[in-house]
Amino acid sequence: MKNFKRSIALAITIIILFTGVVFAQEAKTDPNYEYLQRVKEYIMARYKGEITDTQILEGALRKIIEKNPELLEQAIEGMFGTLDQHSTFFYQDQYEQFSTAVDGQFGGIGITVAKRDGNITVLTTLESTPAQRAGLKSGDKIIYINDVDVSAYEVEMAVPLMRGEPGTSVRLGIKREGNDKIIYFDIVRDLIKINPISFEVKQGNIGYIKISDFNANTEEYMQKALTVFDSQKIKKVIIDVRNNPGGSLEQVVEVAKHFVPNRGAIVHIEYKDNQKQTYYSDLQKTKYEVVVLINEGSASASEILAGAIQDSKAGKIVGVKSFGKGTVQEVLPLRVGGAIKMTIARYLTPNGRAIDGDGIHPDIEVKNIKKKVDANTLEKLSYTVKPTLGDKGKDVLAAEQRLKLLGYDVDEPDEILDEKTFKAIKDFQAEQKLFSYGVLDITTQIALNNAVQDVEIEVDKQLEKAMELLSK
């Protein structure tokens, strides 16, 4: 056990903040466990020498692991099952997925895929990636990966085959609309960065930044967004961390430095030995008027940013009470594979507030509302024509409006039945068990109209309030 601990101590430590969900199970009485307990109690009651409960149980565990080394991972998993909900053991595949989320990068070709019409289908090719340079297109169906037929694979089975070390190659066999033969692409993998930032300039010259999570690239892309805003002399900014589960402590501190003035505190980290570490901003005066949007899905690093801006009076917090995850975890890769993630500290806002289990309370509470789609606001379907690829007209606009409400990718609805709309119609037809051929026939039009009758859309009152505050 001591050698095992020493081996773990050599691992690289990564401090992160992340929301984890662990479902507690009801304690069940196991006959074998009960029997083991009785043997232990007998030893403790009758043994003449010096012994402790811990020594007895460690002896049992040692013997089991010696005889059954394959149970080591399960033993570690059991140890972490006794800790808090954010402390956990990762098996190797789980750790790789977790690391990709935190690191914000992976070796791959740069595409997003989904299962469509029974095939792994390219949804998008990311900008300046090997896939885009090779000529892959949205709608391409992946039939072969390195000569392996993946036409019946699920997404989670196919994606790992396309990922790998940067500089290595992968061969894809693609079925493309309009081509009878399989097209082959030999693509050299590259390091793909995950961009967690999206931004735009809204009406009234208000900058809007959405942060999906705090991975290792967040500050880099935040800086790019703010550079664009500065070039357009934008001084009012909305930061949206709704449904942001958290991420890197280092990254959220760097992001907060753009907004927390007076070289003030950003967050206090309080460890088990009661020692504290405080991270400070190096900004004297902020250049932006800020509103931060939060909701019940804003957790951990998101709450650090919101708490720092709230306590420093650098901006207003709008929305509903956040998740309330105020602890810090340490991740250690294990020599046996996988990793452990364990709570080692809690964090406090600049004013010393501990928000674990409570959350950040907004300065202005605003709840979003849902309402059914008002069919009168949509273009009407005429049921008189059957548009197909390349056709134009009001029926196409009406269909695209409905497809977009149903979650299909048709870009901004217009009157042109382009390739994206054609594909969306085919996908809709397949899901409705209609003949999937992309023609907007009368049966498909009726099905589209019926499909949106019970659709509810969320009215973003929180964003509306943020726009109102910054428009004054």
Amino acid at 16: I
Any residues with CB less than 8 A from the CB of 23 and at least 6 apart, and which? none
CA 159, CA 40: separation in Å to the nearest integer? Answer: 49
How many Cα atoms within 13 Å fall on the side-chain side of residue 75?
17
Q: Which of 212, 251, 281, 300 is the catalytic position?
A: 300
3-state secondary structure of 148: strand
Q: How far is CA 267 from CA 54, 251, 306, in A?
A: 38, 12, 11
CA 425, CA 407: separation in Å to the nearest integer? Answer: 12
Helices 249-256 and 218-231: angle between axes, nearest 10 degrees: 20
Known active-site residue 325: yes
> Tokens standing for 145?
């990966």
Q: How far is CA 389 from CA 135, 174, 179, 257, 434, in A?
A: 22, 21, 16, 50, 18
3-state secondary structure of 318: strand
Plot region of 128 (φ>0 → left; ψ -120 to 50 → alpha; else → beta): left
3-state secondary structure of 28: coil
Give the dihedral sign, CA 71/72/73/78.
positive
CA 329, CA 345: separation in Å to the nearest integer? Answer: 7
Give the dihedral sign, CA 272/76/323/278.
positive
Residue of 390, 268, 388 lying closest to 326 (CA atoms): 268
Q: Which of 251, 322, 329, 445 is the catalytic position?
A: 329
Q: Which of 141, 193, 316, 325 is the catalytic position?
A: 325
> Tokens standing for 120?
């792994």
Kindly list the catalytic residues: 300, 325, 329
